[in-house]
Amino acid sequence: MTPNRQALRIKQMTITLAGETLLTMHRDIAPGEVLTVMGPSGSGKSTLLAYLAGFLSPAFQAQGALYLGDKRLDALPAEQRGIGLLFQDPMLFPHLSVAGNLRFGLPHHANNKRQQVAKALEQVGLAGFENRDPATLSGGQQARVALMRLLLSQPRAVLLDEPFSKLDTTLRQEMRALVFGQLREAGLPTLLVTHDEADANAAGGPIIALG
Amino acid sequence: MKPRTTLTTAVATAMLSLALPAMAAPDPTDWDAVLQAAEGQTVYWNAWSGDSRTNRYIAWVSEQMQSTYGVNVAHVKLDDTGSAVARVLGEKQAGNMDDGRIDLIWINGENFAAMREQDLLFGPFAESLPNFALTHPDENPEVVTDFTLPTEGYESPWGKAQITFYYDSAQTETPPQSIADLLEWAKDNPGQFSYPRIPDFTGSTFLKQALIELSNQDDALYAPVVEAEFAEITAPLWDYLDELHPHLWRSGRSFPESGPNLRALMSDGELSLAFSFYPTDAAVAVMEYELPESVRSYVLEDGTLGNVHFVAIPFNSPHKAGAMALANFLLSPEAQAQKQSLSMWGDRTVLAVSRLDENDKALFEQGESHPSALPADALSNTLAEPHPSWMTALQDAWLQRYGVN
Amino acid sequence: MVLLPAFGYLPVLGGNTFHLEAWQTLWAHAGLQRSVLLSYFSGLITALEALFIVVLFLAASQGTLLDRAIRRMVSPLLAIPHAAVAFGLAFLIAPSGLLVRWASPGLTGWERPPDLLIVNDPLGLALMAGLILKEVPFLLLMSLAALPQLRPEQRVTVARSLGYAPGIAWMKCVFPALYPLIRLPVYAVIAYATSVVDMALILGPTLPPTLSVSVLTWFNDPDLNRRFMASAGAVLQFGVTLAALLTWWLGEQGVKRLCQRWLANGSRASGATAIAFGGRALLLAITLLAISALAGLVLFSVAGFWRFPDALPGTFTLDHWLRILPSVAKPLINTLSVGLAATLIAAVLVVATLEHAARYQLPAWRAQWLLYLPLIVPQVAFLFGLVVAAESVAIRPQQALVVAGHLLFVVPYLYLSLSEAYRRLDPRWAQVALSLGVPSWRAFWQVRLPLLLAPLLTACAVSLAVSIGQYLPTLLLGGGRISTITTEAVAMASGGNRRLVAVLALLQTLLPFIGFSLALMIPRLVWAKRRQMRGAA
């Protein structure tokens, strides 16, 4: 996998709802860096994620620009931005097998898909799980598959929406190490939304407080 | 009758004339030309289909028409002839003058009168049909008269009906022989008789039957209704009904929907006396497990109303030749004999059987009889139908008096 | 098309001027006021009762085996066409009907059927019973589709922890949130109940009948001048439906105000047992009634002569089935081809609309009421006008026109059934797919659609059932030439041979039943190896 080492640039972003300003941000996230955003509920964390990923509801008005390297993103639809998402729930497609989920992330024209899938599963210690029903996996296993699915799609930036909050403490440490490790290695600019300080510390990057 | 928008009609006509070859109405008197034009046509015959035996007969007719004349007959099933009339009317309103959906309608009485009045029928054609002569209209005027209206060749006769009473001999042994008797019988057997709800055809016929007897066959009944005299002439009828209703089924608070419903009620054991237009109805019902074998049929002492039912061709049918060929076939001895046979349908013939030649006469010798059927000689006691305006007038008056509980 | 003749303008019959004569004749017609009141009240009462039964059941239902069994039994009931339910019920409750036969002469001592006016009773009670039998499964299905997004279990748990009995908890915490979601289906029920024709013909009062039956009779009257009065009647029918809807809406406002206090007054247990018992009992009764009605039809379809008061026919015979089956091949094919075509087109239209709304995150479509217009305007009225209009532009009756006509009625039901499921689908599924770089059409085909397979198939089954049950559109728009199972059944019904009618009614029921079974089975087969998908099915 060729690392895409480009920075995610948020330029003069302002999000308003019915005239009232909710959120402003002007920041760059360097490749491999994790920006942690913390804040109480209702402070606009999900709105920020929605804006960055391209799912902002038309009820909101957004000004400013979003760049990945030199490419302007804010006019592009979500599927063309190359920004990956990890949610609280692993969100593995229940109608596809584990391999099907992983293949879903691969670009359509990729070669040797089967090998890539097998290699990804090996990397997270789930070798041989290709034909399993995602519903039969434990929470931790599902989270690992979700991460690999994300990485297989070769994103150029990643958004994390409290991805560890549903895991128990021991698992959480493991996952943090895994996720941040992989993202750093791939050199992806990452934005983490959380209200767990331990997450912020493990991320090891700058922390912003909203609200 | 002006069409609603001349432009629309013009466009429609233009489109039609481009799409179809000119369908000029064939001249009924040139029979060979008619048969030639008919070959290959598909005739849409709109006929009431509530009776599976009728449907079976019509299916038989379709087969014969296909093999003998190369005409394809499609039975369009109706639950009410009125909807066919409504369709032709709608087509005329929209300016559809020669591509109607209906080629032949099974029709008589009020519906015929209405279509004639609104100029919705093609004709005259009936008298030019080769088989028409077999009905001997001069000796049997009923084949050219529909409820006192002369058909003038606008409809061709098909079958005969006569009001026939039937009763369950296991429940009652002395059925009433006249309308006056009926009142006494109903008092002795409350809740066991009824007549179909007006404006049903059979129910309205009961009113006419009763009125004819109660007014001693007043001549006024065979001429158009005169409003000033209506109340006087019908007074005995309303008096009679006022007395009768409390002893009827459901005390006259509700009436069965139609003639066939009377049969269903007798099957359920609710009625023990009923009547129908078809002399063979009771026998057929027994054969089909609807009625018990103890059922018997009869006709009232002084005769009951009978009429002929017909087939007619709408003015805008695109298959008039085929329709005429079909109407003619329906009058043929083979078709009429099949129709009368109990194993097929049982509807009586309109042909003058005694005047047929030996071979044809033999077709009608059926040898089948059924204990529940009307004895053949009983049919000579037929009363003529009053003028159609009486039907409407009686219906309206009945609804006015009894239409609301 | 309908309004004009109502005011006197129908050139083909010589009416060339506008006037109000038709209305005067209408008003003077005996029993008109009664007919109007009958239609109005039977519509409102049906909706009220059906809603009451459904709500009571949902409040009482605790997820026990019995409850789940009842739920599963109710869906197939939706498949039985209205006319078949009417026939079955009529035979069940008639004085010479199934119930009395089973009870006689043992319990009642009757050797002859009693002369009681049950079916066709003047108050319309039999009609309302038949309507309720059909509308309860419909409302239940709609409610079940809308419930999950409200998280009813959580609400009830919270309320119970505060000391509320489960039934009361449900009524106070879940129902107020549920009602806005099922409001449209309730309106559809009111509209249908006020203008129903086929059920009213079989079960409804006769002297005078409901307004819709009268209007149909006038349209078919051989006296063609009745057409003016018929059109006026059709306009009046529309007015009655609107009045009923308006009354209901006013009722909603009133109830809202009255219940504010009750909701917060803290009463926790009063009425709890009534709810728990009544809820289950009522729905069970409805289901048993419907099943018995069907049983009656089955018995009749194979019955020889059946003397009263025998509990079963004296002889059994397959004659009736053998007689009907050959003639039924073509109608069956027509029924299926029209139904499948209409369902397919409707599914494409509805899914496209919903997908579009989902992608652009549009709020609930405000023009929805346009969709429901065909359900509210009486069929008799505007179909006749449609026929004339089509003829005027030389569109001849044909299968395509029939499909178009069916679409008018199928689309609203499909939309009603599918829209909630669509909206409540977690948007994150699509977001995940898109964030993986997949184009939106693939996100639709490979993610959203498979996840919605079960609700989509159910919605299709509902719309197929709706199409199969259509009578007037098929008859009028097909020029009488497209015969379907339903047109055959109605035509046969006019002949009064109950045995043959039973055969046709059962065939009429079989088709949608197969549709619903497929809708249940296919997801189960397809997702045999996917546990979470089956749970959603």
Which of A13-22, A94-103, B206-215, C73-82 comes out lowest in average pLDDT?
C73-82
Q: Which of B90, B269, B270 sits opposite C391 (nearest CB)?
A: B90
Find the mean pLDDT for residues A100-123. 86
Tell me what percent of the residues of chain C surpass a pLDDT of 90: 11
Distance CA B241, CA B398 (A): 10
Distance CA C90, CA C103 (A): 17
Query: Is B292 in CB contact (< 8 Å) with chain C?
Result: yes
What number of H helices and E strands is found in chain C?
27, 2
Q: How far is CA B243 from CA B122, B238, B264, C81, in A?
A: 46, 8, 25, 42
CB B46 to CB C393 under 8 A?
Answer: no
Distance CA C18, CA B131 (A): 49
Query: Is A46 in CB contact (< 8 Å) with chain C?
Result: no
How close C448 comes to chain A (CA, Å)?
Answer: 10
Q: Which of C461, C450, C462 is nearest to C536 (CA)?
A: C450
DSSP C362: P
Residue-level pLDDT at C192: 86
How close C365 comes to chain B (CA, Å)?
Answer: 36
Residue-level pLDDT at C50: 92
Residue-level pLDDT at B380: 66
Distance CA A203, CA B66 (A): 88
CB C429 to CB A93 under 8 A?
Answer: yes
Helix/strand/coil (H/E/C) assignment for every residue in chain B: CCCCCHHHHHHHHHHHHHHCCCCCCCCCCCHHHHHHHHCCCEEEEEEECCCHHHHHHHHHHHHHHHHHHCCEEEEEEECCHHHHHHHHHHHHHCCCCCCCCCCEEEECHHHHHHHHHCCCECCCCHHHCHHHHHHCCCCCHHHHEECCEECCCCEEEEEEEECEEEEECCCCCCCCCCHHHHHHHHHHCCCCCCCCCCCCHHHHHHHHHHHHHHCCCCHHHHCCCCHHHHHHHHHHHHHHHHHHHHHCHHHHCCCCCCHHHHHHHHHCCCCCEEEECCCCHHHHHHHCCCCCCCEEEECCCCCEEEEEEEEECECCCCCHHHHHHHHHHHCCHHHHHHHHCCCCCCCECCCCHHHCCHHHHHHCCCCCCCCCCCCHHHHHCEECCCCHHHHHHHHHHHHHHHCCC
Query: Which chain A residues are within 8 Å of C443, Cβ to Cβ?
Result: 79
Find the mean pLDDT for residues C478-487. 82
How close C188 comes to chain B (CA, Å)?
Answer: 28
How close C116 comes to chain B (CA, Å)?
Answer: 6
Residue-level pLDDT at B278: 82
CB B118 to CB C488 under 8 A?
Answer: no
Helix (H, G, I), strand (E, B) or coil at A191: strand
Find the mean pLDDT for residues C73-98. 81
Amino acid at B341: S
Amino acid at C152: P
Q: Which of B253, B267, B268 sits opposite C122 (nearest CB)?
A: B253
Determine contact, residues B155/B146, Cβ cutoff 8 Å: yes
Residue-level pLDDT at C216: 79
CB A84 to CB C532 under 8 A?
Answer: no
Task: Provide the residue-wise pLDDT of chain B in tens; the chain has 405 residues.
Answer: 333 334 444 444 444 433 333 345 677 788 888 888 888 899 999 998 777 788 889 999 999 999 998 999 999 888 778 888 888 888 888 788 888 889 999 998 888 988 998 889 998 998 889 999 888 888 888 888 887 788 899 999 999 888 899 998 888 888 898 899 999 999 998 889 999 988 788 898 999 999 988 888 778 888 888 888 888 888 999 999 999 999 998 888 888 888 888 888 888 888 899 998 888 888 888 888 888 888 888 888 888 888 889 999 999 999 999 999 999 999 999 999 999 888 888 888 888 888 888 888 887 776 567 777 777 666 667 788 888 788 888 988 998 888 776
Query: Which chain C residues are within 8 Å of B52, Cβ to Cβ?
Result: 323-324, 492, 495, 497, 500
> Does residue A125 carry a pLDDT above 60?
yes
Q: How far is CA B187 from CA B359, B405, C123, C161, C325, in A?
A: 51, 21, 28, 70, 45
What distance lies between CA C196 and its chain's CA centroid?
A: 10
How open is the CA angle C210-C211-C217, to the nearest 5 degrees?
Answer: 95
Domains of chain C: 39-209+270-317 (1.10.3720), 318-537 (1.10.3720.10)
Q: Which of A83, A93, A97 sits opposite C435 (nearest CB)?
A: A83
Contacts of C58 (CB under 8 A, 6+ apart): C140, C143, C147, C170, C174, C175, C178, C279
Query: Which chain C residues are within 8 Å of A95, Cβ to Cβ?
Result: 450-451, 527, 530, 533
Reported as a single tens digit per residue, the pLDDT across C379-431 is: 766 676 676 677 667 677 678 888 988 998 899 888 877 887 787 788 888 88
What distance lies between CA A124 and its chain's CA centroid?
A: 17
Residue-level pLDDT at A190: 92
The chain C residue lying nearest B5, using CA atoms, is: C392
Query: Is B343 in CB contact (< 8 Å) with chain C?
Result: no
The chain C residue lying nearest A136, using CA atoms, is: C531
> Does residue C471 carry a pLDDT above 90?
no
Reported as a single tens digit per residue, the pLDDT across C296-344 is: 888 888 887 877 777 788 788 888 888 888 888 889 999 999 999 999 9
Q: Which two tokens stand for residue C335?
A: 């029924």
How close A200 comes to chain C (CA, Å)?
Answer: 24
> Does residue C179 carry a pLDDT above 60?
yes
Do chain A and B touch: 3 or more Cβ pairs under 8 angstroms?
no
CATH class of B28-160+308-373: alpha beta
The end-to-end CA distance of chain A, in Å, is 38
Distance CA B102, CA C490 (A): 20
Query: Is C16 in CB contact (< 8 Å) with chain A?
Result: no
Q: How far is CA C365 from CA C184, C186, C208, C357, C424, in A?
A: 13, 18, 41, 8, 15
Distance CA C358, CA B364 (A): 74
CB C447 to CB A85 under 8 A?
Answer: no
For chain B, list the contacting chains (3+ Cβ pairs, <8 Å).
C
By DSSP bridging, strand B295-298 and strand B164-168 are antiparallel
CATH number belonging to domain B164-306+381-402: 3.40.190.10
Distance CA C473, CA C375 (A): 13
How close C536 comes to chain A (CA, Å)?
Answer: 10
Q: Which of C438, C446, C529 sits opposite A133 (nearest CB)?
A: C529
CB A84 to CB C427 under 8 A?
Answer: no
Residue-level pLDDT at C187: 87
Determine contact, residues B217/B224, Cβ cutoff 8 Å: no
What distance lies between CA B398 and its chain's CA centroid?
A: 22
The chain A residue lying nearest C537, using CA atoms, is: A95
Query: Is C446 in CB contact (< 8 Å) with chain A?
Result: yes
> Does residue C85 carry a pLDDT above 80?
yes
Best C359, C423, C426, C435 member to test A by mutation, with max A CBs in 10 Å, is: C435
Residue-level pLDDT at B323: 92
Determine contact, residues C418/C354, Cβ cutoff 8 Å: yes
> Does residue A111 carry a pLDDT above 70?
yes
Which of A178-182, B100-104, B287-291, C527-531 comes out lowest in average pLDDT?
C527-531
Domains B28-160+308-373 and B164-306+381-402 share a fold: yes
CB A82 to CB C437 under 8 A?
Answer: yes
CB half-sphere exposure, B232, CA atoms < 13 A:
7
CB A104 to CB C433 under 8 A?
Answer: yes
Confidence of residue C4 (pLDDT cuts 50, 70, 90): low
Helix (H, G, I), strand (E, B) or coil at A192: strand
CB pairs under 8 A between A and C: 78
CB C429 to CB A95 under 8 A?
Answer: no
Domain borders along chain B are: 28-160+308-373, 164-306+381-402
The chain C residue lying nearest A55, using CA atoms, is: C431
More confident residue, C181 or A122: A122
How close C93 comes to chain B (CA, Å)?
Answer: 13
Q: What count of residues does chain C have?
A: 537
Domains of chain A: 8-94+153-209 (3.40.50.300)
How close A144 comes to chain C (CA, Å)?
Answer: 15
